Every structure is written in structure tokens, then in C-alpha cells.
Amino acid sequence: MASLFEDKTFNAVKEPLAKGNYEYCTFTNCDLNKTDLSLINFVECEFTSCNLSNCSVGNTSFKSVVFNDCKLLGIDFFNCNQFLLQIQVNSSTLDFSSFYQMDLRKCSFENSSLNSVDLSNANLEKCTLTENNFSHAIFNQTNLPQANFSKSYNFVINPALNNINQATFDKESILGLLSKYQLNIND
């Protein structure tokens, strides 16, 4: 039987978490770099200033989970349990992570670094994707209708290969949609 951790606060944890269900828990300044989070269920949890880089997330559940000012480098999120997946990422670093083929419609990413993140075949319909750095992010067959890219930058999205119908972009960043055409645009 899996352990249940409810309404607990975890501060500065540096060892692997026990397998089980974490509900309404708060994690602050935890260093879980390269730990195995497989088969753990996080429900309405909040991570603040934590390092979860290179964690294994096979069948891990993230249901209404918030990440604030966290390092989430190199995580293969596509391996997690996608049933009722809902994450909110604020002021965090997700570089080199992968969301390949994931349904992210109930997720938001704000003021974060998504350098070299794989969003191929992902569904980000109506997602909030504001103030992010998408340098070298991979958008291929990505579903982005009504996604909000306000104040985001460094993205390259080919409109012929991605559905961007009614997505919101700042006019300063529109070059990321035109790079395929190798146009010379004057100020």
C-alpha cells in the first residue's frame, strides 16, 4: 500500500522522496536532482526554489501542481502519467526537457526558460505561454490554436507545420513565424 502524505511541508530535502501520494504538500528549496520520482502522485502540490533536474518521472502524476522558480532541466515529461495532468510553471528553467506528444491544454508556462525544449506533436491549445524564452525549442506538428505567446521571444514556429490559428503574438516577435521564408525586414 502506498504511503499518503497530506498537507505536509518539505524544506531543503536532499534525499529521494518515498513512493506514495503527496496531496496538498509544499516543497521548498529541495534538491531532488537526478532522483527517481517514478510512480509518485503529486496532487495540488507546490514546488518553490527546488531542483528537479534530470529526474525520472515514469508514471508520475502531476495533478494541479505549481512550480515556482524551479530548475526542471532535462526531464522527459512525456513519460509521466498524463491522466488529469495540470501544471503551472512560473519563473523556472525547463531547458532540454521534452513534452513530446503531450496534451498540455490545462497547463501554463510563464516567465520561464524553455531552451531546446521538445514540443513536437504536443497540444498547447489555449495555453498561456507568456514571457518565455523559447530559444531552440522544437515546434513540429504542434497544436497551438489560441495559445498566448505575449512577450515570449526567440521562438521559431513554422506556420506550415504547426496549427497557430488565433494564437496571440507580439508584433516584435513575429519574425519567429517568418524565419522559414528568409525575408529581409526593415525597421
User: In tens digits, what is the pLDDT along the chain, a chain of 187 residues?
Assistant: 579 999 999 999 999 999 999 999 999 999 999 999 999 999 999 999 999 999 999 999 999 999 999 999 999 999 999 999 999 999 999 999 999 999 999 899 999 999 999 999 999 999 999 999 999 999 999 999 999 999 999 999 999 999 999 999 998 888 788 777 676 666 6
Domains of the chain in sequence order: 1-91 (2.160.20.80), 98-187 (2.160.20.80)
H-helix or E-strand containing 178? helix 175-178
For residue 129, give the nearest of 119, 28, 79 by alpha carbon: 119
Task: Pull the grid cell for residue 174.
Answer: 513575429
What's this model's pTM, rounded to 2 decimal places? 0.94
Instruction: Answer whether 111's CB lies under 8 Å from 131's CB.
Output: yes
